[in-house]
Amino acid sequence: MSFGVILSQLGGGMVKSIEIFVLTLLFSLPLGLFVALGRMSKLKILSGIIKIYIAIMRGTPLMLQLIVVYFAPYYVFGINISSGFRFTAVIIAFSINYAAYFAEIFRAGIQSISIGQWEAAQILGYNKAQTFFKIILPQVIQRIIPPVTNETITLVKDTSLSFVLSIAEMFTIAKQIGAREASIIPLMIAGLFYFIFNYIVAFGMDRFEKKMSYFR
């Protein structure tokens, strides 16, 4: 197999990896914020349930969560599942897993803001929602960019776990080509792709952090 053909096939897998990456961030970041707010709620029942959810998501392997999300509709509700549900199950599992991690990052960022800012906003006539979204959240975002970047980079690499549900992302295709051609070259190329992808993500997050620096 020529080098060009290998790159072409890995490129198709890379597109699938990017889809998983983008959709996971799209759903997990806002979900993580709502989970963080629930975790900080004064309602003990709500905060308790969310504590359990976060503990399960962070305390069990993502690979296991992928399997559970895919097979749960059949074994729990008796719903027949099709192969078309595989990709959806991957996005659901990745999103609820990463939302738990992002929630703790958001919570730490929110709690790092001085209570005096809430009180000052109240004196100026802001309600709680206005205070949070206009004053607190922008500062929180600036503070949590480094840990969010770390989780985002981890997500890039974790996309390879979708092979559990037979999703042909880049690393899976690299393994298939490597096994068929008895060569390690496809895996090395895949590793280079991951490195470049992560470099682009880290560079973009660094630029974003600099733009948010006026909140310091």
What span, in angstroms and rounded, lies between the C-alpha atoms of 29 and 149?
Answer: 12
Minimum mean pLDDT among 65-69, 183-187, 198-202: which range?
Answer: 183-187
**Residue 158 pLDDT greater than 90, yes or no:** yes
Q: What structural domains does the chain harbor?
A: 3-215 (1.10.3720.10)
**Could you please report the per-residue DSSP string of 159-170?**
GGGGGGGT---H
**Residue 5 pLDDT greater than 80, yes or no:** no
13: confidence class by pLDDT, cuts 50, 70, 90: confident
Model pLDDT for residues 65-92, shown as the tens digit of each residue: 999 999 988 888 888 887 779 999 999 9
Instruction: Note the pLDDT of residue 51.
Output: 96
Would you say 78 and 121 are in contact if contact means Cβ atoms under 8 Å apart? Answer: no
Instruction: Note the pLDDT of residue 53.
Output: 96
